[in-house]
Structure 1
Amino acid sequence: MPLFRSRAVCLTAFSLTLGLALSLHAEISQAHSLKPITSVEGITEYRLPNGLQVLLAPDEAKPSTTVNVTYRVGSKHENYGETGMAHLLEHLIFKGSPKTPDPWAEFSRRGLNANGTTWFDRTNYFAAFAANDENLKWYLQWQADAMVNSFIARRHLDTEMTVVRNEMEMGENNAEGVTTQRILAAMYQWHNYGKDTIGARSDVENVNIQRLQAFYRAYYQPDNATLTVTGKFKPDQVLDWVEQSFGKLPKSKKKPAPLYTVDPVQDGERLLTVRRVGGNPLSIAAYHVPPGAHPDYAAIELLNLILAEAPSGRLHKRLVEESKLAAAVRNFGLALAEPGFSMLIAESAPGASQDALNRELVTVTEGFAQRPITAQELSRAKTRWLNRWERSFTSPEEVGVTLSESIAQGDWRLFFLLRDRIKAISLDDVQRVATERFLPANRTLAQYIPSEKPQRAPAPAMVNLAEQMQSFKPQPAAAPVPAFDASPAAIDAKTRRSRLPNGMQLSLLPKPSRGQAVQGVISLSLGDAQSLFGQQSVAQMTASLLNKGTQSLDREQLRDALDAAKVELSVLNSESGDRLTLSWSSKREQAQQALALISQMLRQPRLDVATLEEVRSQSLAAVQAQRDDPEGVAGKALASALDLYPAGDARHARSFDEEVKDHKAVTAAQVQAFHKAMYGGQKAQLSMVGDFDAAAIESAAQQLFGDWVAPTQPQHLPRQASKAPGRLQLIATPDKQNAMMLGTLHLPLNDEHADRAALAMASYLVGGSSSSRLWLRIREKEGLSYGAGAGIRFSDRDAVSPLWVYGIFAPQNRAKVEAALREELSRVLKDGFSPRELSEAKQALLNDRRLGRAQDEALSAMLAKQADLDRTMAREQSFDQALNSLSLEQVNAALRQYFRLDDFQLIFAGDFK
């Protein structure tokens, strides 16, 4: 949900890695004095004398480490005039301390994927990196230093305040984010959950530095924080380092005052309307719900699935499939420390009646008394929720984030208690909560209607946490998993490569993983230039229908079968329609069952007319959402400026109007014919990484795919580099408070070019990290943008590699952003990079590549791509060596040869009044 909170300091820094499993490290001598307090399923709690809570979850199977510090402070702790202070403080922590004046440079030099987020109940800071004792020790020391010694200075506030304001302006462009922000304000009468984490513009612009410093001193204390370390590390060694770094910090002399504000029970329907330019019509029904620690909250989680989850959700069936009033429905709800909310969101289908959508939305949501929950609905919701919990527990990234939320609710063990409550909850309890909470008097859609006998939900109340935890019984911890060598040579040695009779290539990498997790990818080449002509929308809709039923399983049956096989599936079709990629996760026991379902979806999809209409509606809604968005408009204009192909050609960059026309014209017969002619395995790749039996999977793949051949032989769709002369365009997007800059230059080379390593390094130094020239100038120095940078995407076949720059900013700063871009590029072209810049960038870039190879999902995609190109991991090793051996002269030469800003297609889209 796009509320205006800060979930990250950097737009692309969400891909963290965590792992959970106990391991013994007898070889490390224990110098610390810490004793375990409690241990739950591989997570062990310790506490320092100064009050710092420490959670350790070692996992030898993951060649990476993640460190997370959660502070029990968020936007709910802000006083009058201080809204947005917790989030602004998160930004300023990264401005450094006397000991570390430039944390971002240190993160980049050490290859740390670092970030921070702010939310209602907490703020957290985290970093993921390839396992490395030196980096781990340094990062612990930095976190301890940042806790009490950060500058929080006026000079940093002056620039960072405008960066935060730009983030706020970016959120103002999102219709759903604006609407949810207004709904929260209408829902809460007194409690700070009604105030968005981003804060009021006036508060952010006028924040008092002394008050901000006092806020920092009050909440950034060891006894108000939890340190979590997960992944590959030595527990006793880490505890030694924690004592050395955090242990010397004094316990706070004064604890923050307890919070006690609780809103009264809502006493009638509330209605509001938001009117802005652009975007899709939305209807949102929001309801007050208990805190995450309350026994009834488990029912809320399940009710959200019963209502909104496709394809079996009640709202999906009624609004999307039957009445065609909505293009999509979803829910947004949070387990918070205090009484929270649940929102049911319906995105209007094009041309649908808003009044009818509102009526149907509340009728279904508040219809549990007339239509009680069935045992099948509850069982299905439990299965899906528990499957996702299990995936999050075995996913290092998700566990870290989720534990932060449980810590913020009051006890990290709530993560497990909620799971146990989900398992144990009865149909009667879920039905009771549904009728108590989803009723008119507890609804915010937005209008007041006097009622003679108002029916009200239970009064909100705080939870006695100790009482709730008395019945909690931890489950046994999982066994440790052996370590995995993620070096290219080791990966090549362990990867089993083969080819089926029809030509499908298999790359199977069996390896230990926590929870016996398996990641899979199937990639198909489709058609050729002639057969794909005029088929872009047909190809896209065919791909969208694959997971919506097969010849032997209707949509619900397929979804249930995927849940039973513990499959989480992603289907991606290229814009041109010439490549289809299915990615999925599963478990060892279900690996063959999952592959059989994937085969059935690919070879025998249902492709029915009714579901096609749903997909069409969603596609049209997606186009409409982009029409007024500066990023979407800029992207379209840029693609058009570089387009070399006529309308109908699969490589043609379609306008919004062309997309709408094409989407509307697609028929079920076309979709069925496209699948029959184009789908086959003769130019396909299957890769799997994780805990599975390679011989069994190879045998299963032979039976499932060995005879699968498409009538149309796939042929590579060649691309050419555009030679369009450089051009600057300003495009108006009225009533948008955030603007977008996008620039691209087609370079006539591919990833076999001799300059690849030097050019990759040059683009990284220009705009690929938080120590890059554009980031430091546009964001850090001038505070003009929430995100700015540059990069290059090397083609693996054709001589066309796009070199690009980007930035987001407030429209009134357009001239400043352009000037900063041109001045910084001119400066670096004239002076070149420094030896220190290159040395630190080498280390960071190589560490980032190592971290990527440690992620099973990324590794499975990498193996599939390598098979398609007849390559191995040896090429990755060769490129690493090329990067490491680069000279400063080579990098500066590549920079000066290729970075010619006057040759770029440079687009600025925004409300430039």
Structure 2
Amino acid sequence: MKKHILLGYCSLAFCTLVSAQNKSVNFKKIKELGGIEEYLYQPNGMNVLLLQDNASPVATVQIVYRVGSKHEVLGNTGSTHLLEHLMFKGTPSFNKKNGNTITDVLQNTGAQLNATTWYDRTNYFETLPSDKIELALQIEADRMRNSLLLKEDKEAEMTVVRNEFERGENNPNSLLDKEIWASAYIAHPYHHSTIGWKSDIENAPIEVLRNFYNTYYWPDNATLTIIGDFKKDNVFDLIEKYFGKITKAPNAMPQPYTQEPQQYGARKIVVRKPGELGVINKAYKIPGALHEDLPALNILGEIIGSGPSAILNKTFVDSRLGIYTYASATNFKEVGLFTIGVGFPTSSKHEDIDAKISEVVAKIQKEGVTQDEVNRVVAKISAQTILARDGSGVIASELNEAIAAGDWTDYVTGVDRLKKVTPADVLRVAQKYLVEDQSTTGYFIPKQSGNQNQDTAKANNFIPENGPFYYRHSEDGHVHEESESAVSSEQKNTTEIAYDDTIIEKTASAYKREKVSAIDVISVKTSAKDFVTVAASISLGNYANEGKNNMIPSLTASMLSKGTTLNDKFKFSEKLQKLGVNLSVNASTFKINIGFKCLKKDLDQVITLLAEELRNPLFDAKEFENLKQQFIGNTQQDLNDPGERGSIALSQAIYPKANPNYSLSVEDYIANIKNASLDEVKAFHKKYFGSASMHLVIVGDTEGSNLNASLKKSFKNWNGGVVENMKFEEAVKSNSKTEVLTIPEKPSAELFIGQYTGLKRTDADYIPFYIANYTLGAGFAGRLMQTVRDNDGLTYSISSGLGGNITTGGYWFVNASFNPALFQKGLDATKVQVDKWVKDGITATELENKKTNLIGSFKVGMSTTSGMARTILSFVERGLEPNYIEQYPKDIEKVTLQQVNDAVKKYIQLDKMIIIKAGSLDKDGNPLK
């Protein structure tokens, strides 16, 4: 009997071994590079990329389909993008009828999920706790072949996508880009933008989308990428389990073969619409991403267009001819454009700016560039390539573009290609491709200037990728800079499971907090390799309510990068460029924000440069006048922006002028910029810049970074700053009010609904109300998105949020965009959901889902050095300890349903709603004729 048992056991083991071997045989290893392993899943031809990193319990699952808008033909432009939207509508296993939609199920694990469409590819991805990888694979395999693609879903989603199209039409640069591509490429399918032509979006039959899906959505047209915390054998088993049932495509997949004909002369297009700045975009035809000339073109773009030392910046911005400039080369698979752009005041003539751009190009083609310029760009990109690998989601995104370009290994070898570029190569490609006869020049000519105080009526009862790049994303509302802590920024579009301490145990050793040169320093070691992220801030105390010019903080912070007493702005920026560091110093009226990411080995150099910038600004008078012009030009654009105008109007309706949350009109902002003096900037710097209230958080590979020694050396005897509480006039709940801001020729209008709550982040009701609001309007799983967008198809983006500086009493708001013809219908649908939310509250099931959503997404957010640094900084700014990271999920977990629903009724009164309508609407809120 024992013998039989043993034989049985051996047979079982043998079967298991054979099974394992069969699975292993199914995965043919193709290559390994940079830690990434490529496999071919032989049963159906699917490519698999694996990058294992078990330091943090988070992973990203991504599937890239090698189909994009270039595969479309006349009549079905935009089909790839519209199909991408429909892929979230469900399968027989995951759908709204079953109560388990794809977005709900994933977000209830803490996942950050999305999808994007572009010319060469479409991708779907989710970053989530690593113990949920199986769910992600199950969903991606399911919708690869089992998506429902129902006609009723397409009809509702069509208007959503149309609103996305309309939002792009609101933006002068997006509109100009679209027109340039359509003119530059008349035959190649890059001719039409990814979102498609409006008539195709409106009229594409569901049969066209189903045919597109059944043609291209197959495993042998896909690359599955898994990055992060996993075991390879387990992943192989799961791929076999879920993708093993799917066969190769039954037919050959059609590929575009149209080649662009010879261009026999320069082309020019003109766009005339309301706006505040003139824009010229000059574009030259170039080859695809893997062509041998692309590295040199990429370096040329950096030299021409990036940073204070860039040729365009010196030619246009420093001379006050332009407000902003840019230059870059696209990296698409087949062909592309090298673009040079300038935005400039209407006092300049388009023809003069155009001629000046041609002079710049001619000079480069004659004189070339220097070895030092090439070296700086290569050093910058080399460092930034390492710094960008902060979290599995970022790596997946970069791999996505390399896959689309035709070779994923370019993600690893791209820097090596750049390092081989010589100045002679840059000169050669400038002469070869920046040819006038191969150019397309676009002029955006503003038809008229906006005016915030005209065309405004109150009811009686009274807020560049090159080429259009369209994401399917949820914009979580227009939240003012101070509205939510960095915790909230890590909670967007996300969800899970009971929180566990592995996030701390596996990513951070301990929080070291100490005073260094009078600066409050918090250091956290994580599993990041060779780099650190620094987030810091300096409080401005009561400045926001002292009645002073509110533009002085921003102007002062911006002047810091315009040179120091030790290095002019060119030398200073070049030092940073060589280190690949973007040193950010900006300010609101509440605080100065400081941030950077750098290689650990360079930390001492970066701290030295930071101290130099903060302590010894040059404050050059000419630079100050140049900066004011740039500020004015950029601010003027808000006159024609329905979102900005609507947001300002909402804050003005809620807060008194003496409250720091009150927003000035665009004209008042411009007046403040004009009136600002350099003496005011110097006085502000002298008083507020110092260590008195400075917090600095460093997260990452901190061991051996010698941060303290660097700070002591560079910030010795740095005095100044203020420690004071903010004084302000409290807002009070006002009566209901409706205001219309008329802005002509805007195909997408903005709705704001809101009211004052007075909630502060320290209030006991804050987290219950935050959860309530999250249920209503945060992410794809919020009620507003699931009803007004998904069911009714009335908007691309709708959300609710908490706004204002929440140390002084915040407000609640809803923000959505609608076609003017659908505006009233959208408003009515929104009000139905808000009314239901206030009167009935949320359900116990919703509460549990949102708790797991918030806790799980917090866990995912803490897997990056940037997420952790910003979050800890937000805690210490409020007087909390860094280890509140461990308490925050517990505070979420203990909230009761009664507390949530009581908070909604306590802070929201339906009869006191403020409604702002901004866009192409008349005084009664009807579409302009």
If the length of structure 2 is used for normalisation, what is the TM-score? Answer: 0.87
CA contact (8 A) 1:528 1:715 kept: yes
Alignment-derived partner of residue 235 in structure 1:
232
Which string of whole-angstrom CA distances, capped at 9 and with x for unpartnered residues, describes residues 562-587 of structure 1? 1333422222211x2x3101110001
CA contact (8 A) 2:759 2:811 kept: no
Distance 2:679 2:339 in 1: 38
CA contact (8 A) 1:268 1:442 kept: yes
AA partner of residue 779 (structure 1): R
Please say if 1:723 is aligned against 2:739.
Answer: no
Please say if 1:813 is aligned against 2:828.
Answer: no
Please say if 1:709 is aligned against 2:725.
Answer: no
Please say if 1:552 is aligned against 2:562.
Answer: no
Q: How does 1:338-353 map to 2 (within 5 A)?
A: 338-349=334-345, 351-353=347-349
CA contact (8 A) 1:333 1:341 kept: yes
2:610 corresponds, among 598, 605, 608, to 598
Please say if 1:371 is aligned against 2:367.
Answer: yes
Q: How does 1:722-741 map to 2 (within 5 A)?
A: 722-741=732-751
1:512 corresponds, among 504, 522, 527, to 527
Q: How does 1:412-491 map to 2 (within 5 A)?
A: 412-445=408-441, 487=503
Please say if 1:676 is aligned against 2:686.
Answer: yes
CA 1:522/1:878 → structure 2, altered by over 3 Å: closer, same or farther? closer
Task: Give the drift of 1:805.
Answer: 1.0
Distance 1:85 1:368 in 2: 41
Alignment-derived partner of residue 582 in structure 1:
594
2:647 corresponds, among 620, 635, 638, to 635
Task: Give the drift of 1:758.
Answer: 1.7
- Equivalent pairs, count: 840
Distance 1:719 1:42 in 2: 57
Please say if 1:612 is aligned against 2:624.
Answer: yes
CA contact (8 A) 1:832 1:892 kept: yes
Distance 1:665 1:276 in 2: 30
Query: Mean alpha-carbon deviation: is it higher for 119-128 or for 420-429?
Result: 420-429
CA 1:889/1:395 → structure 2, altered by over 3 Å: closer, same or farther? closer
Which string of whole-angstrom CA distances, capped at 9 and with x for unpartnered residues, describes residues 506-527 of structure 1? 111123313x110002211135
CA contact (8 A) 1:280 1:348 kept: yes
Task: Give the drift of 1:297.
Answer: 0.8
CA 1:691/1:911 → structure 2, altered by over 3 Å: closer, same or farther? same
Task: Give the drift of 1:825.
Answer: 2.1
Task: Give the drift of 1:366.
Answer: 3.6
Distance 1:358 1:594 in 2: 38
Alignment-derived partner of residue 111 in structure 2:
112
Q: How does 1:19-38 map to 2 (within 5 A)?
A: 32-33=23-24, 34-38=27-31
CA 1:814/1:651 → structure 2, altered by over 3 Å: closer, same or farther? closer
AA partner of residue 251 (structure 1): K
Task: Give the drift of 1:695.
Answer: 7.8
AA partner of residue 499 (structure 1): K
CA contact (8 A) 2:801 2:813 kept: yes
Task: Give the drift of 1:394.
Answer: 5.0
Query: Mean alpha-carbon deviation: is it higher for 603-612 or for 338-347?
Result: 603-612
Which string of whole-angstrom CA distances, capped at 9 and with x for unpartnered residues, describes residues 675-707 of structure 1? 122211111111100112478212322332242
1:535 corresponds, among 549, 558, 563, to 549
Task: Give the drift of 1:530.
Answer: 9.0
Distance 1:815 1:371 in 2: 59
Distance 2:544 2:795 in 1: 44
Task: Give the drift of 1:555.
Answer: 1.1
AA partner of residue 577 (structure 2): D
AA partner of residue 142 (structure 2): D
Alignment-derived partner of residue 73 in structure 1:
67
Distance 1:651 1:773 in 2: 28
CA contact (8 A) 1:522 1:581 kept: yes
Distance 1:553 1:232 in 2: 45
AA partner of residue 589 (structure 1): K
Q: Which secondary structure does the structure 2 equivalent of 1:368 belong to?
A: helix
AA partner of residue 37 (structure 1): I
Task: Give the drift of 1:793.
Answer: 5.0
Task: Give the drift of 1:380.
Answer: 2.1
Distance 2:888 2:373 in 1: 52
Alignment-derived partner of residue 484 in structure 2:
none
Distance 2:661 2:715 in 1: 29
Distance 1:264 1:619 in 2: 43
Alignment-derived partner of residue 870 in structure 1:
879
CA contact (8 A) 2:536 2:696 kept: yes
Please say if 1:850 is aligned against 2:859.
Answer: yes
Q: Which secondary structure does the structure 2 equivalent of 1:872 belong to?
A: coil
Distance 2:560 2:543 in 1: 23
CA contact (8 A) 1:566 1:590 kept: no
Alignment-derived partner of residue 912 in structure 2:
903
Q: Which runs of 5+ in 2 are unaligned?
A: 1-18, 96-100, 444-499, 922-927
CA 1:681/1:55 → structure 2, altered by over 3 Å: closer, same or farther? same
Distance 1:624 1:541 in 2: 16
Q: Which secondary structure does the structure 2 equivalent of 1:257 belong to?
A: coil
Alignment-derived partner of residue 511 in structure 2:
495
Please say if 1:271 is aligned against 2:268.
Answer: yes
Task: Give the drift of 1:149.
Answer: 0.4
CA contact (8 A) 2:85 2:157 kept: yes
Q: Which secondary structure does the structure 2 equivalent of 1:506 belong to?
A: strand
CA contact (8 A) 1:491 1:873 kept: no
AA partner of residue 623 (structure 1): T
CA contact (8 A) 2:508 2:525 kept: no
CA contact (8 A) 2:798 2:815 kept: yes
AA partner of residue 709 (structure 1): N
Q: How does 1:136-535 map to 2 (within 5 A)?
A: 136-322=133-319, 324-349=320-345, 351-393=347-389, 396-445=392-441, 487=503, 494-500=510-516, 502=518, 504-514=519-529, 516-526=530-540, 528-529=542-543, 533-535=547-549
Q: Which secondary structure does the structure 2 equivalent of 1:550 belong to?
A: coil
Alignment-derived partner of residue 625 in structure 1:
637
Query: Mean alpha-carbon deviation: is it higher for 351-360 or for 35-44?
Result: 351-360
Task: Give the drift of 1:181.
Answer: 0.4
CA 1:72/1:895 → structure 2, altered by over 3 Å: closer, same or farther? same
Q: How does 1:79-94 map to 2 (within 5 A)?
A: 79-94=73-88
Task: Give the drift of 1:191.
Answer: 0.5
Query: Mean alpha-carbon deviation: is it higher for 554-563 or for 47-56?
Result: 554-563
Q: Which secondary structure does the structure 1 equivalent of 2:139 belong to?
A: helix
Distance 2:571 2:663 in 1: 37
AA partner of residue 495 (structure 1): Y
CA contact (8 A) 2:875 2:884 kept: no
CA contact (8 A) 2:111 2:860 kept: no
Distance 2:575 2:201 in 1: 50
Task: Give the drift of 1:895.
Answer: 2.4
Q: How does 1:738-887 map to 2 (within 5 A)?
A: 738-793=748-803, 797-798=807-808, 800-887=809-896
Query: Mean alpha-carbon deviation: is it higher for 587-596 or for 865-874?
Result: 865-874
AA partner of residue 52 (structure 1): M
AA partner of residue 609 (structure 2): L
Distance 2:722 2:151 in 1: 66
Alignment-derived partner of residue 41 in structure 1:
34
CA 1:880/1:389 → structure 2, altered by over 3 Å: closer, same or farther? closer
Distance 1:68 1:244 in 2: 17
Q: Which secondary structure does the structure 2 equivalent of 1:256 belong to?
A: coil
CA 1:571/1:632 → structure 2, altered by over 3 Å: closer, same or farther? same
CA contact (8 A) 1:750 1:794 kept: no
The alignment yields a C-alpha RMSD, in angstroms, of: 2.3
Distance 2:255 2:884 in 1: 58
Distance 2:302 2:544 in 1: 44
Please say if 1:97 is aligned against 2:91.
Answer: yes
Please say if 1:129 is aligned against 2:102.
Answer: no
AA partner of residue 51 (structure 1): G
Q: Which secondary structure does the structure 2 equivalent of 1:110 belong to?
A: coil
Please say if 1:54 is aligned against 2:48.
Answer: yes
CA contact (8 A) 1:683 1:714 kept: no
AA partner of residue 642 (structure 2): P
